[in-house]
C-alpha cells in the first residue's frame, strides 16, 4: 500500500475546465471588440485626447468670461452703480427741507393774513430725567404714573360731564 496515490482524474478535469474558461473569455473579448462604441460619457467608452479636452475647457471658460464681463459695452450696469442709483432714488423720495418750508409758508400765510413772516415752532427739549421706557424699571415707573393720572381723570368732574372731551384734553396735555 503506497501512500502516494494521486488522483489523475481530478487534475485532468481541472485542466479541461481551465481550457474551457479560457475559450469562453476569448469569445467574450472578441464579442466586445466587435460591438460598436457607445457615446455614453458615463461608460467612458468615448475616447477624447487630452489636448481636445484642454481646448474645450478653455473655449468654455472664454465664452463664460465674455458673457460675464461687460465693461459697459452691452449697456450693463455694475453693482456699485446700481446701488448708487437706488440710494439716489430713495433720497429723492424723502421730503426736502426747502419744500417743507415752502409748504409751511404757504399754509401760514393762508391762515394768518396779518403776519407776513412765517412763525416756526421751536422743538422743545426732552427732559433728561424722565424714566427710560425701554428699560423694565423705567417702564414700571411710567405705568405707575399713568395709573395715577388715569385715576385722577376718572374722579374729575369734567370726565363725568363729557368723558371723551376729558380724555382728549388729557392726551393733548400728555403729548405737550
Under a CB-based contact definition with an 8 Å cutoff, are residues 47 and 39 in contact?
Answer: no
Most trustworthy range by pLDDT among 35-39, 47-51, 86-90, 112-116: 86-90
Residue 169 reports pLDDT greater than 60: yes
| Residues ≥6 apart with Cβ < 8 Å to 78 | 72
CA distances to 38, 110, 123, 162 from 33, rounded to whole Å, are 12, 101, 95, 106
Q: What is the pLDDT of residue 78?
A: 81
Residue 70 reports pLDDT greater than 70: no
Is there a single domain that holds both residue 30 and residue 53?
yes
| Residues of the domain holding 47 | 18-68
| Residues ≥6 apart with Cβ < 8 Å to 72 | 78
Per-residue buried b or exposed e for 115-153, using 16+ beta carbons within 10 Å of the residue's own CB = eeeeeeeeeeeeeeeeeeeeeeeeeeeeeeeeeeeeeee
pLDDT band at 149 (very low <50, low <70, confident <90, very high): confident
Is there a single domain that holds both residue 34 and residue 64?
yes
Q: What is the pLDDT of residue 35?
A: 62
Residue with cell 487534475: 11
The alpha carbon dihedral of 68, 69, 72, 78 has a sign of positive
Number of domains forming the structure of the chain: 3
CA-closest candidate to residue 131, choices 122, 141, 120, 118: 141
Is there a single domain that holds both residue 56 and residue 31?
yes
Query: How much is the pTM?
Result: 0.28
Is there a single domain that holds both residue 63 and residue 92?
no
Q: What is the mean pLDDT of residues 151-167?
A: 88
pLDDT band at 99 (very low <50, low <70, confident <90, very high): confident
Residue 136 covered by a domain: no
Residue 100 covered by a domain: yes
Amino acid at each position: 500500500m503506497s501512500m502516494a496515490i494521486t488522483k489523475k482524474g481530478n487534475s485532468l478535469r481541472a485542466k479541461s475546465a481551465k481550457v474551457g474558461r479560457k475559450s469562453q473569455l476569448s469569445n467574450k473579448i472578441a464579442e466586445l471588440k466587435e460591438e460598436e462604441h457607445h457615446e455614453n460619457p458615463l461608460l467612458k467608452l468615448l475616447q477624447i485626447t487630452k489636448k481636445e479636452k484642454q481646448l474645450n475647457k478653455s473655449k468654455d471658460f472664454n465664452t463664460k468670461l465674455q458673457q460675464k464681463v461687460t465693461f459697459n459695452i452691452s449697456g450693463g450696469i455694475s453693482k456699485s452703480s446700481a446701488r448708487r442709483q437706488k440710494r439716489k432714488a430713495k433720497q429723492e423720495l424723502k421730503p426736502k427741507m426747502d419744500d417743507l418750508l415752502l409748504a409751511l409758508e404757504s399754509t401760514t400765510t393762508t391762515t394768518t393774513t396779518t403776519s407776513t413772516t412765517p412763525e416756526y415752532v421751536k422743538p422743545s427739549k426732552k427732559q433728561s430725567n424722565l424714566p427710560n421706557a425701554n428699560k423694565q424699571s423705567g417702564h414700571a415707573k411710567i405705568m405707575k404714573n399713568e395709573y395715577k393720572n388715569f385715576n385722577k381723570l376718572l374722579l374729575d368732574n369734567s370726565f363725568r360731564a363729557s368723558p371723551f372731551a376729558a380724555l382728549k384734553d388729557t392726551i393733548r396735555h400728555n403729548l405737550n
